[in-house]
């Protein structure tokens, strides 16, 4: 074999070796990447899910009877249970409805496109077209809300729209917190008020 033929053979061998190394590294990279992403699977899936939250009534000790009443009911067409993880939670990918009941039995509702209930912290994360409607007609709209079940408190740092038919006003703002029946409402930042009554008069 002449010198030219030997050089060509060496060049082909080098290119082939480099190609093998490249594909080998690429394959290892892909497999390492797949292993790095831990896939999470729910331990249980429930359709037409209903979860009832109750509160124990305070009774005299000598009564010997334990009484409770319903404070909230959570409903969803689909629930994924991830309570088997280190940070247990339950997701509601197809949306959910939460109904609140006060001492008089009056109902307020929360609807959202997506929800997460964190078991260890008693916190509910509501996302996407979140709407709260109280029994007296008050309405709050926001892209995201948090419900602290332990303290019965609802809050957000997102923008919101609050409609109060009693006062005949609509308020736009950003960041607020309140209790479940709207008896206490605190807005961090407001952009202005619009009177519903004045708007109706102008339309008439």
Mean of per-residue pLDDT scores for the chain = 78
Comparing 36-45, 81-90, 96-105, 149-158, the range with the smallest average pLDDT is: 36-45
Number of domains in the chain: 2
Q: What is the pLDDT of residues 126-148, one digit of tens each?
A: 999 999 998 888 899 999 999 88
Instruction: State the pLDDT at residue 15.
Output: 44
Q: What is the pLDDT of residues 166-178, one digit of tens each?
A: 888 899 999 988 8
Helix (H) or strand (E) holding 109: strand 107-112
Q: Are residues 89 and 6 in the same domain?
A: no
Q: Are residues 93 and 171 in the same domain?
A: yes
**Is this structure's pTM higher than 0.75?**
no
Longest dimension (CA), the chain: 110
Q: Are residues 7 and 95 in the same domain?
A: no
Class of residue 130 by CB neighbours under 10 A (exposed 0-12, middle 13-18, buried 19+)? buried
Domain span holding position 1: 1-39
């Amino acid at each position: 074999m002449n010198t030219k033929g030997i050089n060509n053979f060496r060049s082909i061998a080098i290119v082939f070796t480099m190609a093998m190394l490249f594909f080998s590294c690429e394959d290892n990279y892909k497999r390492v990447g797949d292993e790095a992403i831990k896939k999470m699977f729910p331990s249980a899936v429930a359709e037409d899910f209903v979860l009832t939250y109750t509160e124990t009534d305070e009774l005299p000790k000598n009564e010997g009877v334990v009484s409770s009443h319903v404070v909230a009911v959570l409903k969803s067409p689909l629930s994924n249970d991830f309570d088997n993880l280190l940070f247990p939670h339950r997701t509601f990918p197809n949306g959910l409805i939460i109904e609140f009941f006060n001492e008089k039995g009056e109902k307020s509702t929360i609807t959202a496109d997506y929800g997460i209930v964190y078991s260890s912290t008693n916190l509910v994360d509501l996302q996407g077209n979140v709407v709260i409607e109280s029994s007296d007609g008050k309405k709050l709209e926001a892209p995201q809300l948090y419900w602290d079940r332990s303290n019965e408190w609802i809050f957000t740092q997102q923008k919101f729209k609050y409609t109060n038919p009693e006062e005949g006003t609509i308020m736009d703002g950003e960041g607020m917190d309140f209790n479940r029946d709207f008896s206490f409402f605190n807005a961090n930042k407001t952009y202005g008020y619009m009177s519903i009554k004045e708007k109706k008069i102008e339309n008439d």
